[in-house]
Structure 1
Amino acid sequence: MSVSTHVLDSVLGRPAMGMVVRLFAGEELVAEGVTDADGRCRLVDGATARGTHRLVFSTGSWFADQGRETFYPEVALAFDVREPAEHHHVPLLLAPFAYSTYRGS
């Protein structure tokens, strides 16, 4: 299985570069990365277990680094891995007081 994300700042209409993202399987930290200039981060290229995983985005520190306030110090997105061989892409559309996500491809 592979896991990736793409974070977009929906207020400014640009990628969220430099955000720390962590991937957990249960309580175990599986991977950690930082979004690139395009707001993308690939966290896992190899196999991982079936079951519930979480992506945790460090939104509070990211907004603080830009001198902006946010209501969300972090965003945690839980998703189920049912087919470990599939690619799992979980984007985050982010604003200081709202966020949205979807299953990407």
Structure 2
Amino acid sequence: MSSVADLRLRMLQRHLGLQAGRDMEAVSSPLTTHVLDTASGLPAQGLCLQLSRLEDHGQQWTELKKSYTNSDGRCPGLLPPGQMKAGTYKLFFDTEGYWGKRGQESFYPYVEVVFTITNETHKFHVPLLLSPWSYTTYRGS
């Protein structure tokens, strides 16, 4: 591959939240998140998060994935294609751990975003804008 093609591939991987050499299946993940540290104006790298689904039997949360945000504040491959089904999901963000690593006190020890998926053929994006004293989330595209 030429150096121009290599550069284009690396730029595409960065845009999609992928790291060089990672499996490209993350591109088609039906559920994505992007965490931005609004206090620094940078992506929130290294923030621990967990994805869970509420199961009908006993109303118990079942953990589907535990991961960390990458250098772009994203978590590629959060939910593999074919694993999405209609139901209630939760993204748990360990904000206390994130701010603690930076020597920063924070008001919220964690953020839980609970949302409902009614059509498993759609894509869902759950952004989180984060500061030590506030957070905002919304359904992105």
Q: Is TM (by shorter chain) over 0.5?
A: yes
Which residue is equivalent to 1:59?
A: 95
Give the alignment of 1:1-105 within 5 angstroms: 2-26=30-54, 27-42=61-76, 43-46=78-81, 47-105=83-141
Alpha-carbon displacement from aligned partner over 1:20-48 (angstroms, at most 9, x marks no partner): 11111010001121100010113112222
Higher relative contact order (CA 8 A, sep 6+): 1
Query: C-alpha distance in 2, partners of 1:2/1:45?
Result: 7
Residue 104 of structure 1: CA displacement?
A: 1.0
SS at match of 1:48: coil
Alpha-carbon RMSD: 1.1
User: As a proportion of its length, which structure holds more helix?
Assistant: 2
Residue 87 of structure 1: CA displacement?
A: 1.3
- TM-score (norm. length: structure 1): 0.94
SS at match of 2:35: strand
SS at match of 1:61: helix
User: As a proportion of its length, which structure holds more strand?
Assistant: 1
- TM-score (norm. length: structure 2): 0.71
- For structure 2, list consecutive stretches of 5 or more residues without a partner in the other structure: 1-28, 55-60
Q: Which has the larger radius of gyration?
A: 2
Count residues in correspondence: 105
Q: Tell me which stretches of 4 or more aligned residues in structure 1 moved more than 6 Å.
A: none
Letter of the 1:68 partner, please give it: Q
SS at match of 1:90: strand
Query: C-alpha distance in 2, partners of 1:25/1:5?
Result: 16
Letter of the 2:40 partner, please give it: L
